[in-house]
Structure 1
Amino acid sequence: MPETPKLNRPWFVAVWPGMGHVALNAGVYLLAKLGMTAVAEFEAGELFDVNAVEVKGGVIQPARRPRNRFFVWADPEKRHDLVLFLGEAQPPVGKFPFCRQVIEYARGLGVERVLTFAAMATEMRPEHLSRVFGAATDERGVDELRRLDVTVLEEGNIGGLNGVLLGAAALGGLRGTCFLGEMPQVFTQVPFPKASLAILEAFSALTGIEVDLDELTDQARAVEEQLGELLARVEEQYGPQARLAEDNEDEGDEEDDEDEAAGEPPREGVEYRYEGPDETVAPPAVQRIEELFARAANDRGKAFELKRELDRLGLFKRYEDRFLDLFKHGD
């Protein structure tokens, strides 16, 4: 790790890819709207393996392990600075040792509290409000969730690092809270910004940090309409119990599986498999991406517009390193 920055009573937020891009999009939105700056990269060593290599124009790219980055934001109100941890993937083994190392670094920064974001898949429909479920490492935190009108996850488990990190935090004497945004079980493979929006509203209420949520609100509304129309067409043709694709239990997408919170038993319903657009990108789309990169380079507040377009094209993973490099330097 590089030299740790000096921070004012920082809080720590950790996100990973998962169902509906719920946690990742919430984290990236904070990254963009708060103008955060990269400060460190965590080398996880042999905990991560390489499962695939990227091919560009027929050329196999050098293999690399998933990256784990830390970003910071200095609170102008001098309440709590923020440290954002953004991981590209969750290690298939050694999750607890990995979390212990992350928490050790967080403690070295003077972190007072740890927050994680995740998704909760239920039978909600796209037009319904996304509830926020929550759990905390102590009774004080649970009482806090109730005051925020967050639905307390009374029983169940939080799969993957979203939960394990909080267990490691509690073991290290740090308070922790997990916010889980509700999304339709039938659309877990599709980005669902309404759940990310609900999480950030709860986050703002907890921390007192004001975040301009207008852009995310607009995106949530647009996706709600698209998914609602799709679901209505399917139900009209096949009935409410129709499936858009086979069960995705054995898809092998570890990132999505890890992000699921088991607060309710699985239920049957419509299933939608999101494969993303064709990998061959038309020149106008490439030009649009380059224009958005140029805008975001001049104004990091525009970065979420770029993230939204990359998601629409199914290209975020391809451009992820370049996107996050936008936050390497402060203003």
Structure 2
Amino acid sequence: MPEIPKLTHPWFVAVWPGMGHVALNAGVYLLAKLGMTAVAEFEAGELFDVAQVEVKDGIIQPARRPRNRFFVWIDPNKRHDLVVFLGEAQPPVGKFPFCRQVIDYARELGVERVITFAAMATEMRPEHPSRVFGAATDTDGVAELRRLDVTILEEGHIGGLNGVLLGAAAASGLRGSCFLGEMPQVFAQVPFPKASLAILEAFAVMTGIELDLDELAEQAHAVEEQLGELLARVEDQYESPNEEAEEGAGDDEGEEFSSDEEESESESSSVQHEGIGYQYDGPDEPVSQTAVQRIEELFARAATDRTKAFELKRELDRLGLFKRYEDRFLDLFKHSD
């Protein structure tokens, strides 16, 4: 890895896979649109186990533990450089020791603030605006979130590393905030880019970073239409649609919430919704030659222009193949001499 450059008042963003690919999609979008560069990989030792191995063309591949990578963006305006941490999975045990090690490394980089992205599943419908919920490690952070029109998570918990990392940051004297993008609970295992878009809109205002969100907005609109059509077909099959769910959507009081990490047991499950070209972390299945050719073309384009990487990510999501190509995709952001 190249030497890490001296950073200017850096902020730290951490994302992991979870419901709706909300956090992961937002993190990858930052990597692509800001042209970020991989600078380090974090070895987590024995905290991670290996639950399965990959098979390609009948050949069992060497077992490996989930990878954890750090990426850097240098702010041309010299306000706040960004460090993005992207973890492939959350350790089943030792979450707090893991987070303390990550925070220790962040402090070595001079990080001043820690931010995590996550999903918040509610009874919202796909066509409704995605709210952003938030919490912070201090009262000033909460006041800042209110100014961003973020809905404050007054009570409850943020499970998993998206919450524990902020607890570790607070214990070490670092300020931190969590942005949780709202998504429909009924589609918890389908990528929902509208929630990622809502998070990045708030994040861009907070950081002052000029971020082109057009491509993500286009994806969000397309998925919204697909999910809306699917939900309408399902409701048409019932004589009495669930009117309570419709009335409760968008109403803060009495609404059911599920934070991003409560779905950890379902991360490896496969759900394919009819009419939608998304499969969440599904099993390996044969891929058509046409799809493979399209993927290779997008990889070639992204290799010469990393701002095109999100188009590749979008196609991999559509085909349910991101997990299969994840290592190769993230290698696009390696330092090039």
TM-score by length of 2: 0.88
Matched residue of 1:252: which SS?
helix
1:215-261 deviation line (CA, Å, top 9, x unaligned): 0000000000000000000000124349xxxxxx99933579xxxxx
1:294 to 292, 296, 300: 300
> In structure 2, do the counterparts of structure 1 residues 287 and 254 end up closer, same or farther at CA, with 3 Å as the change threshold?
closer
Which residue is equivalent to 2:265? 252
Q: Is the 8 A contact 1:50 1:63 kept in 2?
A: yes
Matched residue of 2:52: which SS?
coil
What are the equivalent positions in structure 2 for 1:35-54 lying under 5 Å apart?
35-54=35-54
Matched residue of 1:70: which SS?
strand
Match status 1:165 vs 2:165? yes
Return the alpha-carbon distance in structure 2 between the equivalents of residues 126 and 101 of structure 1: 38
Q: Structure 1: any 5+ residue segments left out of the alignment?
A: 243-248, 257-271
What are the equivalent positions in structure 2 for 1:1-331 lying under 5 Å apart?
4-238=4-238, 239-241=240-242, 252-254=265-267, 276=282, 279-330=285-336
Residue 275 of structure 1 and its aligned partner are, at CA, apart by 6.9
Return the alpha-carbon distance in structure 2 between the equivalents of residues 228 and 208 of structure 1: 33
Q: Is the 8 A contact 1:17 1:255 kept in 2?
A: no
Return the alpha-carbon distance in structure 2 between the equivalents of residues 183 and 26 of structure 1: 14
Return the alpha-carbon distance in structure 1 between the equivalents of residues 322 and 120 of structure 2: 22
Return the alpha-carbon distance in structure 2 between the equivalents of residues 250 and 47 of structure 1: 20
Q: Is the 8 A contact 1:89 1:255 kept in 2?
A: no
TM-score by length of 1: 0.90
> In structure 2, do the counterparts of structure 1 residues 88 and 34 end up closer, same or farther at CA, with 3 Å as the change threshold?
same
1:95-139 deviation line (CA, Å, top 9, x unaligned): 000000000000000000000000000000000000000000000
Matched residue of 1:135: which SS?
strand
Q: Is the 8 A contact 2:13 2:116 kept in 1?
A: yes
Q: Is the 8 A contact 1:20 1:190 kept in 2?
A: yes
Matched residue of 2:237: which SS?
helix
> In structure 2, do the counterparts of structure 1 residues 254 and 288 end up closer, same or farther at CA, with 3 Å as the change threshold?
closer
Return the alpha-carbon distance in structure 2 between the equivalents of residues 324 and 98 of structure 1: 22
What amino acid maps onto 1:180 in structure 2? Answer: L
Moved over 2 A (4+): 1-5, 238-242, 249-256, 272-278
Q: Structure 2: any 5+ residue segments left out of the alignment?
A: 244-261, 270-277
Matched residue of 1:90: which SS?
coil
Matched residue of 1:80: which SS?
coil
Return the alpha-carbon distance in structure 2 between the equivalents of residues 277 and 8 of structure 1: 43
Which residue is equivalent to 1:264? none
Return the alpha-carbon distance in structure 2 between the equivalents of residues 193 and 303 of structure 1: 16
What amino acid maps onto 2:320 in structure 1? Answer: G
> In structure 2, do the counterparts of structure 1 residues 37 and 250 end up closer, same or farther at CA, with 3 Å as the change threshold?
closer
Deviates more, 1:35-44 or 1:4-13: 4-13
Instruction: Name the Cα RMSD after superposition.
Output: 2.1
Identity %: 84
Q: Is the 8 A contact 1:276 1:313 kept in 2?
A: no
Return the alpha-carbon distance in structure 2 between the equivalents of residues 60 and 161 of structure 1: 31
Return the alpha-carbon distance in structure 1 between the equivalents of residues 47 and 221 of structure 2: 39
